[in-house]
Structure 1
Amino acid sequence: MKPIPKEDIQSLERDILFQVLDFFEQYHITYFTSGGTTLGAVRHEGFIPWDDDIDLYIPRADYNRMLQLATNRTIGKNIRIYKPGDKNYIYPFAKACNINTRLNEQNVRHREQDIGIFIDLFPLDKFYDDPVRRNLLILHSKWLNSLLASASDQVNLSRKGSLRRLAKDTLRTLQKPLAKAIGISRLTRRIDALGRHTAKADCHLVGDLVWCNGGRDFYPAEHFAAGVPGTFEGRTIQNPIGYHSYLQKLYGDYMQLPPEDQRVMHGFTGWYLDETGETE
């Protein structure tokens, strides 16, 4: 296998994104940019220069339909969508991967994990309006994700030397026998089931329930009531209509560039399966 230069990562991810967007347009699947991809589209009209990640939100009904349409096939010329429950797949959300590449994520030690360069496809799920029910839901997701981290031997790379990291590492070690007994596939499906369950509820909040970023990733549903066209690497892309309030909650003064010491890329390395570096 041939190592993928860092400067090729963004172009490979852009190619995945464009093939995924073609697939979405073909089957009329609704989506929105999310996180740093929304920020990149609004502030840079493409990648944040030091970023190497693409994230999309897909409303739960369209997300479920996407998974059905993509089962047991590639989309475009070289893209496969992996989903919770797939063999040796350790995430509770989907990823669209270039099947002619492989990568190693710095925080993942699960040896059977065998995916390529990817973009993240998150279900946009409902959160309960009632704070008590919502907090219990978030705690449930966080606990299942903690078990999943133990089962898949994920490493906590943040807050080095902190008491909080020590507490998390200790918990992951203590619960590892239970997590291994439940198994990765069952845990990813259980986390996914949380979003499938709340889809039936009458709620006015939506966000990322399955990855549950500290329990803070929920927003008024009107922020995602429709898409508004933006530009990402020369292509029209759909940002959430409430992107301004969404980005303010995530980043504060989002048009202000962060200090240089905070401009950090994700920690992974990749390889082309073809020694020539071709991905077709």
Structure 2
Amino acid sequence: MHLATSAIVLTALPHGEHGAVVRFLTPDDGLQAGYVRGGRSRRIRPTLQPGNVVALELRARVDTQLTAATVELVTSRAGLAFDRLTAAATEWLATVTAALLPEGQAHARLHAGLDALLGGMSAGIPAADTAAGIARYELLLLAELGFGLDLSQCAATGSTEELVYVSPRSSQAVSRGAGAPYAAKLLPLPALLREDRAATGWLGVDDALTTTGWFLERNLLIGRAAELLTARARLVAIVRAAAESAASAAAETIVAPSPRGD
């Protein structure tokens, strides 16, 4: 086995005295794992930070042998670790991807989506865009693993107008009129999950994370993967704190007196 490709570093776990077993997401070959000799050393450890892009080479003589990996840093995203939201987001996105994807199956859309979101975070996109991107990535992750939501039309009427709910049973959209009598039992469907659109600030972010989180917990974060729910809860708490801070700052701006005092 020999593979040479670019890859996003997802997780690195200690193995032996100095090495690390690292999971990578590649554009064409999906999730790949390999043993990096000296992966815990001062020289190589910074390269293996989650979110970094590396030039990856994997080699194994036989199928039963632990694949040997060599890496060379292409793009460092070390700065993500210095902000509370981006650090938590990077940890969650990398860990959940590594935990849920089967090895060796191509997921080009997931790779492109994750790379774009991590790149945007590294470039300093607003916190609201980061939070919206997390929800969209979770929606994509559900779809790629066979649990996609049908948000194109109302499950009850076939209407494409005023789709504001998601049925937790059918995973389909529900219109405002059809869902009104059952609103307490339905999940919210904000616009940011329905449309490929520019950022809309914090509008709908909390609802989006509530809905994607419900389906993740029901369909994917089960068994051993359920341990990841604690990490996601921490991330959601940080997102909500950031949203509240932004709302408070906006309110203070509105009520602040003008320089002339009128």
Name the TM tier (shorter chain). Answer: under 0.3
Write 1 or 2 for the structure with the bigger share of helix.
2
Higher gyration radius (CA): 2
Q: TM-score, normalised by structure 1?
A: 0.26
